[in-house]
Amino acid sequence: MPTVAPKIPDRLQPVSDFLSYILPYLESERPVMGIHSSPARIFESDLYRFELRGSICSGLILQNCQLEKACFCDVLFQDGNFSGCNFSDAYFERCVFQNCKAVGTSFFNALFKNTRFSDSNFSYAVFDQSVMRSICFDNSNFSGASFAGAVWKEPMCTNAVFSQNNFFKADLGCADFSECTFQAPTVSDPPTELRGVTVNSFQASDIVGLFGIKVRT
């Protein structure tokens, strides 16, 4: 099922100093709406419960920031870097990550609806216990990312890299990995997490040993 594109207004408020602009909204617990932020660098800031709607973030760099329980609806993140941030218990709906980097970022127990990861690097990110509905993994790198206990519903996977991922106790929602790199997953014994997934013949030869099957060449 295709993801739904963000609903972003035609006219947006330009914002040159992202942190200074959002701080009054954070303090008063109000959502930030309808902005187009210019490139900005923010390090080790506490953005707990930050809420952003109907906006575009271009070149936003958030590193080692705390964004627990943040909420993002109808947001386009492009050319951003969120490496090392904490998005635990965050909420994403109709969001797009385009050419973004989030290496080692925590999305523990986060909820994603109609969200697309495109041309991005989320290697070693933590998605444990997250719920991902109508999600699209497109031409992005998730090597080493952990999805332990995660639930996928209606996932789409195209040209993405899933290598050495922790899928222990995950529900992959009959994901089709046949157009992706899919290798060396960590799963249960027996590997119930892989029930219903689709792989190509090359991938099957790599994971068949997880089922206790020996292939004689």
27 is written with which tokens?
Answer: 């303090």
Cα angle, residue 206 at apex, residues 143 and 172 outer, rounded to 5°? 55
Answer whether residue 109 is part of any domain.
Answer: yes
Which amino acid, 142? F
Mean pLDDT in consecutive groups of 10 residues from the start of the chain, 217 residues: 84 97 97 98 97 98 97 98 98 98 98 98 98 98 98 97 98 96 93 93 82 64
What DSSP designation does 110 have? -
The residue assigned the tokens 């497109």 is: 138
CB 184 within 8 A of CB 203: no
Q: Does any domain span residue 56?
A: yes
Query: Looking at the domain assignment, is residue 1 inside a domain?
Result: no
In a domain, 6, yes or no: no
Task: Supply the pLDDT for residue 208.
Answer: 78
What gap in Å lies between CA 154 and CA 132, rounded to an integer? 8
- Of 30, 59, 27, the residue nearest 46 (C-alpha): 27
Flag whether 104 is in a domain: yes
What pLDDT, on the 0 to 100 scale, is given for residue 217? 63
The reply to whether 51 falls in a domain is yes
Which amino acid is residue 46, in one-letter code?
A: D
In a domain, 215, yes or no: no
Q: Write out the residue range of the structural domain in which residue 147 sits.
A: 13-201
Question: For the chain, how many structural domains are there in total?
Answer: 1
Q: For the domain that residue 131 is a member of, what is the CATH number?
A: 2.160.20.80
Q: Is the peptide bond before 190 cis (omega within 30 degrees of 0)?
A: yes
